[in-house]
Structure 1
Amino acid sequence: MPEGHLIHRHAREQHAALAGQPVQLSSPQGRFDPSPYADKSLTAVEAYGKHLLYHFIDAPVLHVHLGMRGLFLRFADPTVPPRRGTRLRLAGPEVAYDLIAPIRCEPLPPDAERALRASLGVDPLRDDADPVEAVRRLTAAAVPVGTALLDQRIWAGIGNAWRAELLFLAELTPDAVSVGDARARRLWQLAVEYLALGRDAGQVVSDPTAPDERWVYKRERCRRCGSPIRTWQLGGRTAYACPVDQPAVAER
Structure 2
Amino acid sequence: MPEGHTLHRLARRQQRVFGGRPVRVTSPQGRFADGAAALDGLVFAKAEAWGKHLIQHYGPRGQRRMLHVHLGLYGAFAELPAPMGEPVGQVRLRIEGAEMGTDLRGPTACELYTPADLEALVARLGPDPLRSDADPQRAWAAICRSRRPIGALLMDQRVIAGVGNVYRAEVLFRAGIDPHREGRAISRPEFDEIWSDLVALMKVGVRRGRIHVIRPEDDHGAPSYAADRPRTYVYRRHGEPCRICGTAVAIGELDGRKLYWCPDCQR
Question: TM-score scaled to structure 1, two decimals?
Answer: 0.94
What does residue 157 of structure 2 align with?
A: 152
Residues 12-63 of structure 1, C-alpha deviations (whole Å, 9 max, x = no match): 1111111101111111111102111121111110100000000111353100
- What amino acid is the match of 1:155? I
3-state SS in 2 of match to 1:28:
coil
Given candidates 218, 221, 228, the residue that maps to 2:248 is 228
Tell me which residue corresponds to 1:197.
204
Does the alignment pair 1:244 with 2:244?
no
How far apart are residue 95 of structure 1 and its match?
Answer: 0.8
Counterpart in the other structure of 2:236: 218
The answer to whether residue 110 in structure 2 is matched with residue 108 in structure 1 is: no
Pairwise CA distance, 1:136: 2.4
Q: Distance in 2 between matches of 1:226 and 1:12?
A: 40
Number of residues of Structure 1 aligned to a counterpart in Structure 2: 247
Superposed CA offset, 1:121-155 (max 9, x none): 00000011123333223323331100001110100
Of 238-247 and 124-133, the range deviating more from structure 2 = 124-133
In the alignment, structure 1 residue 96 sits paired with structure 2 residue 98:
no
Q: How does 1:49-60 map to 2 (within 5 A)?
A: 49-57=51-59, 58-60=63-65
- Does structure 2 retain, via aligned residues, the 8 Å contact 1:214–1:223? no
Query: How far 1:185 moved relative to its partner?
Result: 0.6
Task: Give the AA of the match of 1:215.
Answer: Y
AA partner of residue 188 (structure 1): W
Q: How far does the alpha carbon of each residue in 1:231-252 deviate from its partner, in whole angstroms, 9 at most, with x for none? A: 11112201100011111xxxxx
Give 3-state SS (helix, strand or coil) of 2:151's partner. helix
Q: Please tell me the residue identity of whatever aligns with 1:55.
A: H
Deviating more after overlay: 27-36 vs 149-158: 27-36
CA distance in 1 between counterparts of 2:195 and 2:254 reads 20
Change (3 A) 1:26 1:133: same
8 Å contact from structure 1 (residues 19, 42) kept in 2: yes
Distance of 1:197 and 1:232 partners within structure 2: 28
8 Å CA contact 2:28, 2:87 repeated in 1 = yes
Unaligned 5+ runs, structure 1? 248-252
Unaligned runs of 5+ in 2: 220-228
Corresponding residue number in structure 2 for 1:165: 170
Aligned-CA RMSD value: 1.4
Q: 3-state SS of the aligned residue for 2:10? A: helix
Q: Partner of 2:225 in structure 1?
A: none
1:187 matched to 2:194? The reply is yes
For the 8 Å contact 2:26–2:40, the answer to whether it is kept is: no
Comparing 238-247 with 52-61, greater Cα deviation is found at 52-61
Separation in structure 1 between the aligned mates of residue 57 and residue 162 of structure 2, nearest angstrom: 20
- Pair 78,170 (structure 1): closer, same or farther in 2 beyond 3 Å: farther
Q: TM-score, normalised by structure 2?
A: 0.88
